[in-house]
Amino acid sequence: MNTPYDVVVVGGGVAGLSAALCLVRAGVSVCVLERTDYAAWRPGETLSPVTWAELRQLLAPEPLATEGFLESQGLEATWGSERPHHHSFLANPYGSGWHVERRHLDALLAHHAGRLQVPLWRDTCVTQLEREGHGWRVRIRTPQGPAELRCEALVDATGRSAWVARQQGVRRREWDALCSVSGIIDRPPGFQEQHLVVEATPQGWWYAAPLPGGRLILTLLSDVDVLQRLGALRPAGWSALFRATRHLRERVGGVEAVTRLQVRRCETSRLEHAAGEGWVAVGDAAAMWDPLSSSGILKGLRTGRASARALCAAREGDSGALEDYARQQAAEFNRYLSARQAHYALEQRWATEDFWRRRLDAGPPTSLTARATGAVATSVP
């Protein structure tokens, strides 16, 4: 603890661990602080083929063990009309996608970090940050009691809370009030194929994804006020909305067994600045994308890598490196916003319903073929 680190990564999700792995390979001394022990449920269970390729690259030359993961054959989306559109990963140059138990994926990356001798403090929270010269004094609470670390730079990988950035007074801009409500059931006989199913409904949209261990996750996404109005944050209201789906209900049958729901805010949002003096934000801390993109994990992995490059450049004297990183994140977010708008504009059937009206205000569709080609889940950069 007395030896200062070059970088302390706050948050040991995919983005923080990607940053840590890239930094340690570049010869930077780094440690990761993670507030949990990876036991609780986490959202994000579908990896597109390109996400899988990015993961393999991050862990290379170590192989990526697929034990406990389910190969995903593609997706089926009912979006814009009653007719489902299929997209198979068979011809994808990156191969198939995968369905994972997300906390196991994060724990797997944490394990790899351990093999590279990256200290990872589980069940540890940062309680205070203080600027000390050009570096930081980081006060933490560990299971063994309070402690203190010193470092040159910080990576904010705390997900939606963007704890480090907020401590620096950086604000977050929000574009919607999207929220997910998920229930997990045993995978029914009508759902043996291993692919993602998406269905748009008047109140929002649903997805169903197979999980390892013969289970299935069903998630409703809508704005938090719509969900509250419809009572969908509780099992009875959520099940009633599920019964109003068409394709999913036919495949899944009843969801009466769901007595516990997982609720997560997932609004499209970004920090006004994704970096500042001595810190950078990665993954959801920097920006949150709609789960419709199925690209949050890919973004986490890539921003982790890009932040490591920027931090290394800054250490070598490039005084504009962190600012460049922040500018690139802002540009990437604008590209994402255009893609999001185009995808929502493909669904015009319920244009007067609150959820859709709020998303359709922005203009006509720009890519009518996106859904049919599976771009809903794979094309957002």
Ligand X SMILES: Cc1cc2nc3c(=O)[nH]c(=O)nc-3n(C[C@H](O)[C@H](O)[C@H](O)COP(=O)(O)OP(=O)(O)OC[C@H]3O[C@@H](n4cnc5c(N)ncnc54)[C@H](O)[C@@H]3O)c2cc1C
Under the binding rule (CB under 6 A), the answer on residue 22 touching ligand X is: no
Q: Is 296 in the site for ligand X (CB under 6 A)?
A: yes
230 SS3 class: coil
In whole angstroms, the minimum distance from the beta carbon of 60 to ligand X comes to 20
CB of 12 to ligand X, least distance (A): 5
The string of DSSP codes covering 82-113 is SS-EEEESTT-TT--EEE--HHHHHHHHHHHH
The continuous run of DSSP H or E covering 243 comes out as: helix 235-243
Verify binding: residue 53, ligand X, rule CB under 6 A. no
CA distance linking residue 366 with residue 354, whole number of Å: 22
Helix (H) or strand (E) holding 189: none
CB of 140 to ligand X, least distance (A): 8
Min. distance of Cβ 249 from ligand X in angstroms?
20
**For residue 199, which of 76, 330, 16 has the smallest C-alpha distance?**
76
Kindly state the number of chain residues that form the binding site for ligand X, as judged by CB under 6 A: 39
Q: Which residues lie closer than 8 Å to 317 by C-beta, 6 or more apart? A: none
**Does residue 16 bind ligand X (CB under 6 A)?**
yes
CA distance 339 to 271: 19
Nearer to ligand X, 15 or 58 (CB): 15
For ligand X, the closer of residues 166 and 358 by Cβ is: 166
On the 0-12 / 13-18 / 19+ scale of CB atoms within 10 A, 161 is: middle
Nearer to ligand X, 28 or 33 (CB): 33
Is 328 among the residues that bind ligand X (CB under 6 A)?
Answer: no
Query: Under rule CB under 6 A, which residues in 254-283 are in contact with ligand X?
Result: 264, 266, 283
374 forms part of the interface with ligand X (CB under 6 A) = no
- Sites of contact with ligand X (CB under 6 A): 10-16, 33-36, 42-46, 51, 125-126, 157-159, 161, 163, 180, 182, 219, 264, 266, 283-285, 291, 294-298, 300
